[in-house]
């Protein structure tokens, strides 16, 4: 882009008169002053100043209107003519406030990223403001977006807000241009910023001048990492006096927060990642003050300061970024929901260590809940379970349940379970006589145990668990498992021990099936000679050289009965000598 710039002053005479060129000058202030004098002397009913920037690459002029004033430039109701301006800022200084800078950062994000600057640097650098003006559409679109948003909550016309914002921006631009020419913004060496802060401390425009000096100093940075390192170097030599030190630390922290709030800067700082999960892992590590081994100097220094909690605003920016990424629609691992869920749990387990003044527990839970919601949709879940067998489908759904949060999300996830349980495929799979009955019962019991540990609501959890138990009862009846044990010619001790192995080995579902097994066990316990037979059998199984201990044997029996769901009191009452 060439630096050949001139300003054209136009005027209009009469209510319906057209624009005619009045003068051309190379000085911005002179052009605006000339236009204002035309209006003041009533030699025009409307004036405007147009900035023309010559582009060496295209051979064209880029046109941008920088000032307009007139009695009939827009149709405004008389009652609204004197209405207060419905704009968020009223004077140039307002544009330097935190909220104004945040708004401008959002609106000018692409421009800032392309030029590798922050919003604070932009509003303190005359060269970058001039380049922004020369872009034309970027600058005007930003103003229009603010105007439209503000007009939606007021009765002030959009055109009037646009005019007010243009005037305000022009004043702010002119101030920076003027101060730059006057040499108000120094460009000291890193070690000289401490003395500059002492000199400016207590003055009304201290922050404005100091940030201007920082912006000038950062012009030499060759990338975001170097810019971060330059800022932290300045901060490391901050003065010890309270006011000057506060000026240095707050200014550096604010610019670092702006850097970390932008996607382009973050991507360059933390490096490329395979997916969002990898990028988030790096962000979490940065937030927790843990630098990667291959970190560049700037990132390493930044991480060290995060570890010592010396950059609150910058750390807050990273925390906000982490929450925003979790709330985004982008998948952590687009290729695999299993990897997605594992990454979600891994990141969650790490980020909870940082919950505190920068990252609230409520915000984190809300972000994880929202991301979990996107994983329990028919589209996401359907593709994950479609090719699995009936039992595997349930297991995969339970895997998802174990890695998501949110009551409503788990309620939604549970709604996929019952249709699978009641399907013919599920029944056929577990009633298949070609497969061993004990292995089928154990598989069903494993699924039921997982359901009983799940976070599904109580009613749903009991409904699913009951359905599985009912199926297990049918399977046992068809396979005649209990009947075959009862028909054996072995002793009551051996029959009881067989049932105890089934009950404690995860073969029987909890509910009716387990209750029947417990009833049979208690029946065998109550048969005459059970206790003496049990002790004799245990003594026979004892290793050579071991002295039989009846009390120890009884304790082991009570422990086994407890695992099977039989209380010691009930067991002792039932055992027959």
| pLDDT the model gives residue 439 | 95
| pLDDT the model gives residue 81 | 37
Given a cut of 80, is residue 471 above it in pLDDT? yes
Label residue 226 by pLDDT band (50, 70, 90). very high
The neighbouring-strand residues paired with 47 are 11, 69
| pLDDT the model gives residue 210 | 94
Query: How many Cα atoms sit within 13 Å of 503 on the Cβ side?
Result: 27
The rounded mean pLDDT for the chain is 87
Residue 520 vs residue 138, higher pLDDT: 520
Q: Which residues contact 526 (CB under 8 A, 6 or more apart)?
A: 574, 575, 576
| pLDDT the model gives residue 96 | 85
| pLDDT the model gives residue 80 | 41
Number of H helices, E strands in the chain: 31, 4
H-type alpha helices, 108-189: 109-115, 119-122, 126-135, 137-151, 158-181
For residues 162 and 448, what is the distance between their CA atoms, to the nearest angstrom? 65
Given a cut of 60, is residue 295 above it in pLDDT? yes
User: Is the pTM here over 0.95, yes or no?
Assistant: no
DSSP characters over 406-465: -HHHHHHHHTTHHHHHTSHHHHHHHT-TTS-HHHHHHHHHHHHHHHHTS-S-HHHHHHHH
Map residue 489 onto helix, strand or coil: coil
> Rounded to an integer, what is the distance from CA 509 to the centroid of its chain?
40
Label residue 477 by pLDDT band (50, 70, 90). very high
Q: State which H helix or E strand residue 205 sits in.
A: none
The pLDDT tens digits of the residues spanning 234-256 come to 999 999 999 999 999 999 999 99
Neighbours of 461 (CB within 10 A): 18
Percent of the chain with pLDDT over 90: 49
Q: How many residues does the chain have?
A: 577
Given a cut of 90, is residue 65 above it in pLDDT? no
Label residue 83 by pLDDT band (50, 70, 90). very low
The neighbouring-strand residues paired with 10 are 21, 48
Mean pLDDT across 445-458? 94
For residues 478 and 431, what is the distance between their CA atoms, to the nearest angstrom? 9
Label residue 74 by pLDDT band (50, 70, 90). very low
The pLDDT tens digits of the residues spanning 532-556 come to 888 888 888 766 556 668 888 888 8
| pLDDT the model gives residue 77 | 44
For residues 339 and 359, what is the distance between their CA atoms, to the nearest angstrom? 25
Label residue 39 by pLDDT band (50, 70, 90). confident
| pLDDT the model gives residue 541 | 74
Given a cut of 80, is residue 16 above it in pLDDT? no
Given a cut of 70, is residue 87 above it in pLDDT? no
For residues 385 and 35, what is the distance between their CA atoms, to the nearest angstrom? 71
| pLDDT the model gives residue 330 | 87
| pLDDT the model gives residue 71 | 62
Residue 495 vs residue 19, higher pLDDT: 495
For residues 24 and 424, what is the distance between their CA atoms, to the nearest angstrom? 86
| pLDDT the model gives residue 147 | 81
User: Is residue 33 within 8 Å of residue 40, measured between CB atoms?
Assistant: no
For residues 521 and 500, what is the distance between their CA atoms, to the nearest angstrom? 7
| pLDDT the model gives residue 542 | 67
**Among 78, 77, 79, 48, residue whose Cα is nearest residue 65:** 48
Label residue 79 by pLDDT band (50, 70, 90). very low
| pLDDT the model gives residue 548 | 67
């Amino acid at each position: 882009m060439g630096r050949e710039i001139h300003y054209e002053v136009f005027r209009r005479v009469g209510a319906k008169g057209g624009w005619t060129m009045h003068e051309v000058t190379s000085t911005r202030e002179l052009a605006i002053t000339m236009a204002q004098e035309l209006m003041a002397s009533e030699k025009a009913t409307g004036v405007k100043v147009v900035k023309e920037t010559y582009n060496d690459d295209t051979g064209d002029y880029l046109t941008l209107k920088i000032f307009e004033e007139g009695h009939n430039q827009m149709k405004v109701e008389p009652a609204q003519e004197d209405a207060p301006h419905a704009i968020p800022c009223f004077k140039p200084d307002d544009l330097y406030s935190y909220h104004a800078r945040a708004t401008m950062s959002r609106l000018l994000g692409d421009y800032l990223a392309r030029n590798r600057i922050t919003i604070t640097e932009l509003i303190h650098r005359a060269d970058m403001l001039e380049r922004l003006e020369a872009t034309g559409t970027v600058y005007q679109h930003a103003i229009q977006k603010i105007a439209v948003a503000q007009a939606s909550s007021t009765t002030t016309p959009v055109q009037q807000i646009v005019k007010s914002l243009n005037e305000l921006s022009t004043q702010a631009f002119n101030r920076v241009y003027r101060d730059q020419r006057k040499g108000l913004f120094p460009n000291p060496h890193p070690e000289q910023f401490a003395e500059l802060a002492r000199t400016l401390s207590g003055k009304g425009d201290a922050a404005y001048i100091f940030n201007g000096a920082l912006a000038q100093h950062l012009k030499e940075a060759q990338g975001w990492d170097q810019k971060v390192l330059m800022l932290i170097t300045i901060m490391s030599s901050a003065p010890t006096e309270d006011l000057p030190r506060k000026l240095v630390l707050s200014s550096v922290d604010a610019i670092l927060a702006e850097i970390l709030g932008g996607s382009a800067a973050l991507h360059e700082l933390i490096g490329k990642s395979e997916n969002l999960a990898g990028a988030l892992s790096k962000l979490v590590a940065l937030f927790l003050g843990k630098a990667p081994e291959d970190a560049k100097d700037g990132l390493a220094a930044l991480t060290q300061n995060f570890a010592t909690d010396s950059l609150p605003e910058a750390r807050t920016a990273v925390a906000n970024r982490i929450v925003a990424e979790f709330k985004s629609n982008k998948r952590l691992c687009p290729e695999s929901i299993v990897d997605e869920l594992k990454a979600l749990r891994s990141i969650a387990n790490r980020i909870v260590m940082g919950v505190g003044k920068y990252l609230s527990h409520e915000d984190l839970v809300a972000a994880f809940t929202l991301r979990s919601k996107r994983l329990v949709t028919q589209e996401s879940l359907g593709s994950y379970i479609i090719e699995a067998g009936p039992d595997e489908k349930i297991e995969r759904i339970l895997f998802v349940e174990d890695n998501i949060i949110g009551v409503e999300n788990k309620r939604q996830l549970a709604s996929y379970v019952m249709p699978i349980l009641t399907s013919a495929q599920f029944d056929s799979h577990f009633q298949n006589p070609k497969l061993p009955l004990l292995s089928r019962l154990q598989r069903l019991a494993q699924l039921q145990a997982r359901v009983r540990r799940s976070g599904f609501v109580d009613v749903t959890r009991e409904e699913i668990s009951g359905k599985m138990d009912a199926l297990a009862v049918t399977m046992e009846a068809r396979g005649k498992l209990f009947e075959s044990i009862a028909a054996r010619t072995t002793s009551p001790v051996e029959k009881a021990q067989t049932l105890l192995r089934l009950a404690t080995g995860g073969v029987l579902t909890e509910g009716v099936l387990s209750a029947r097994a417990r009833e049979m066990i208690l029946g065998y316990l109550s048969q005459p000679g059970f206790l003496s037979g049990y002790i004799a059998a245990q003594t026979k199984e004892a290793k050579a050289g071991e002295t039989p201990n009846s009390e120890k044997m009884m304790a082991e029996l009570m422990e086994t009965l407890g695992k099977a769901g039989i209380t010691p009191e009930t067991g002792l009452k039932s055992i027959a000598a």
